[in-house]
Amino acid sequence: MHSERSQTIASAVFWGSAFVAPMPGGAVYLSWLSEHDQYGYIFPLLISVVALVLFRWDYRLRLPTSWLSNGLVVGGLALTLFSTYRTSPWLTAVGFVLIATAWLHTHHADSVSRQRLTYLALPLVMLIRLPLNLDLAFSSTLQRFTSRVSSYLLDAFGVAHYLRGNVIELPGGTLFVEEACSGVQSLFTVLFLVCLWVVFRRRPLVSTPAYVLAGMVWAMVMNVMRITSIALAQEWYGFDLSEGPAHATLGWVCLVIAVLLTLSTDRLLNVMFYPVPPDESGHEGNPVARLWNRALMVGVEYDVDHEEVGLADLKPTTDHQHPNNQPRPEFETALVGASVLVCLLSLGLGYRVVESRFGKVAVDANRPLLWVPDEDLLSTTRYAPLVTDHQALREANSRQLGNHADVWTVVVDGMPVRLAVSQPYPEWHDMRACYEGNGWQINDWIPVWQSAQDDAAVEKDSGEEGLEVSVDQWPVSYLEMVRDTHGFGTLLFCGLTRDGELLQPPMMGLGSLFDARLRDRNSLSSKVIMLQLWTESQMPLVPDQVDKLEALFEAFRQRVRGGLTEEASGQPSGVEVVGERSEVERNRR
């Protein structure tokens, strides 16, 4: 029989290897999250969880013995190894959370009660960012909701205003509901504090959805009050609360009130999620009451070992388990060996994840030119007389236009519009990050914009018969931006491959979501072309102007697709880019 000392050493090696395995991807993941303000709670969260574990742990290391613990740790290590091979820091974070949950499920609060620490894994769920920028989509939705509700309150107070997207036009000026003011940061902070409160007070884990819902409601209520207060202070008293120390103080006050309101709701929820007491005979009552009481114990189960009186004969020893609730020596050796092996493999492949973040420049100047559009691409459309300029940018390394770009300037109703063929990209590229910054902020974002153009108009404008497609086959993304100097910007964009394959945004469904998340980032090749339309205006565009831009972009992208199809049907073209010069050999039919 192994001594307790050898079991402790084996447990330390096993769990040490398990937690070291996700470190390369975890470091990249944390640096990625640090770029987003709404995830500023990550390090306080980790510190809080570690502190709770140190206060409640009995300081006895154990190897996993239950099927749940073994399943969690095996799943976490397998996912970590898979994430290093696929170069996905996000999957590494999921694997780390599974491993940490397995550790908490294996260990106990004290040697007397044998209460498991599984419930402490709840805050760790907030380490995982929603994939594919779904948190940004949620941010846009929350901004619109906050703006609309604030507008209703201003109507109730009799304040004259006009709401467009997230911009509230007031007689005394313009108020833009930024992401920070919309409640995204305070909402995430409130949810983080709610999770800590649930585990600190040891509330039932089944009550977590109710606590999260209460936190979301109170956070949004207080942020609506925050926006309304800024507008009322500006219109009634001429006091500016939209910037400076007054703005920060107002934000902290609203956050504290939201937290206090959430904690006050805890009294009600604590009564709602109270166990059903036994009847006079000591029985738990009907099956529903027994099921309810069992559900309230999820995450805080008691691990009763085989030495307790009355249970030694009722629980036979499993094939891999020792009578003292520890694995047999051969199973213990297999666990430790597998953990160390996975750790070494993960560290060996970890350079792929680290290199994807720190070892590569943001833009590779040697990316190839996929296709050279004709300067007269729009000559067969009704927009040909409106084209004023064409530029062929090679090795531009532009944040907005990519490494190579062909840009046309078209004047529509006196408004200069930029049409661009940007290339190359390894996959469908979210252009929001390219335009955000330098004073520009997102006002409205529609990942899949429903087109109002009919197929006949598309065919007529594009000049390419038989190439028209529906919005479901080739969707367009719509972005409206606002600048701190009161300017407005409109962006339409879509993507396709050099072979003419039409691309869809990853936000279009679960299939696209998992395919994009599990794809090997290092295996992607630069064969995607992004098409975009961008225009700036001093005033917001009216629907008629938006319709004209939509028609222009529809004709443009159909001509691009027609040009690619035309060239693919003939002899392939060869393109060589040297410095700022390009030699093009094309044979047209």
Residue carrying the six token digits 């303000």: 37
Choosing from 322, 344, 359, the residue where a domain stops is 359
Q: What is the pLDDT of residue 410?
A: 92
pLDDT tens-place string over residues 221-273? 888 888 888 888 888 888 888 777 887 888 888 888 888 888 888 888 888 88
Choosing from 317, 344, 359, the residue where a domain stops is 359
Residue 192 in any domain: the answer is yes
Least confident span in 196-205, 316-325, 426-435, 521-530: 316-325
Residue 288 in any domain: the answer is no
Mean pLDDT, residues 146-167 taken together: 83
Least confident span in 97-106, 150-159, 220-229, 571-580: 571-580
Residue 291 in any domain: the answer is no
Is the model's pLDDT at 471 over the cut of 50?
A: no
Helix, strand, coil shares of the chain, percent, nearest 5, are 50, 15, 35
pTM (2 decimals)? 0.68
406: nearest Cα among 458, 369, 368: 369
Choosing from 231, 251, 272, the residue where a domain stops is 272
Element (H, E) at 134: helix 134-156
Would you place residue 357 in the very low, low, confident or very high pLDDT band (cuts 50, 70, 90)?
low
pLDDT tens-place string over residues 370-385? 888 888 888 888 888 8
Residue 96: burial class (beta carbons within 10 Å; 0-12, 13-18, 19+): buried
Residue 410 in any domain: the answer is yes
Is 309 in the same domain as 437? Answer: no
By the 8 A CB rule, do 555 and 462 touch? yes
Is the model's pLDDT at 455 over the cut of 50?
A: no
By the 8 A CB rule, do 381 and 571 touch? no
Distances in Å between the alpha carbon of 50 and those of 38, 121, 129, 349, 450? 22, 11, 20, 28, 48
Residue 394 in any domain: the answer is yes
Domain span including residue 92: 4-116+301-359
Is 354 in the same domain as 396? Answer: no
How many C-beta atoms surround the C-beta of residue 474 within 10 A? 19
Is 450 in the same domain as 578? Answer: yes
Mean pLDDT, residues 274-291 taken together: 75
Mean pLDDT, residues 396-421 taken together: 87
Is 490 in the same domain as 558? Answer: yes
**Higher-pLDDT residue of 539, 308:** 539
Would you place residue 318 in the very low, low, confident or very high pLDDT band (cuts 50, 70, 90)?
very low
Could you tell me which residues come within 8 angstroms of residue 275 by beta carbon, excluding any fewer than 6 positions away? 292, 293, 296
Is the model's pLDDT at 436 over the cut of 50?
A: yes
479: nearest Cα among 422, 436, 509, 542: 436
Would you place residue 508 in the very low, low, confident or very high pLDDT band (cuts 50, 70, 90)?
low
Is the model's pLDDT at 19 over the cut of 60?
A: yes
Average pLDDT for the chain:
76
pLDDT tens-place string over residues 38-94? 777 888 888 999 999 988 888 888 888 888 888 999 999 999 888 888 778 888 899
By the 8 A CB rule, do 278 and 285 touch? yes
Gap between the Cα atoms of 235 and 229, Å rounded: 10
**Higher-pLDDT residue of 549, 246:** 549
**Higher-pLDDT residue of 259, 175:** 259
Q: What is the pLDDT of residue 516?
A: 53
196: nearest Cα among 116, 123, 125: 123
* Number of structural domains in the chain: 3
Secondary structure letter of residue 554 according to DSSP: H
Gap between the Cα atoms of 526 and 544, Å rounded: 37
Is 200 in the same domain as 70? Answer: no
Gap between the Cα atoms of 43 and 338, Å rounded: 30
How many C-beta atoms surround the C-beta of residue 497 within 10 A? 18
Gap between the Cα atoms of 201 and 52, Å rounded: 11
Is 101 in the same domain as 191? Answer: no
Q: What is the pLDDT of residue 322?
A: 47
Is 414 in the same domain as 495? Answer: yes
Gap between the Cα atoms of 328 and 66, Å rounded: 13
Is 249 in the same domain as 141? Answer: yes
Q: What is the pLDDT of residue 95?
A: 92
Would you place residue 438 in the very low, low, confident or very high pLDDT band (cuts 50, 70, 90)?
low
Is 264 in the same domain as 395? Answer: no
Residue 284 in any domain: the answer is no
Question: What is the distance of C-alpha 579 from the center of its chain?
Answer: 38
Spell out the alpha helix ranges (H) of 409-526. 432-435, 455-462, 510-518
Q: What is the pLDDT of residue 320?
A: 43
By the 8 A CB rule, do 329 and 2 touch? yes
551: nearest Cα among 535, 536, 530, 533: 533
Is 149 in the same domain as 250? Answer: yes
Is 197 in the same domain as 226? Answer: yes
Gap between the Cα atoms of 587 and 363, Å rounded: 31
Is 388 in the same domain as 524? Answer: yes
Is the model's pLDDT at 531 over the cut of 90?
A: yes
Q: Reduced to 3 states, what is the DSSP secondary structure of residue 409? A: strand
Residue 438 in any domain: the answer is yes
Q: What is the pLDDT of residue 282?
A: 66
pLDDT tens-place string over residues 562-581? 888 877 766 444 333 333 33
Residue 365 in any domain: the answer is no
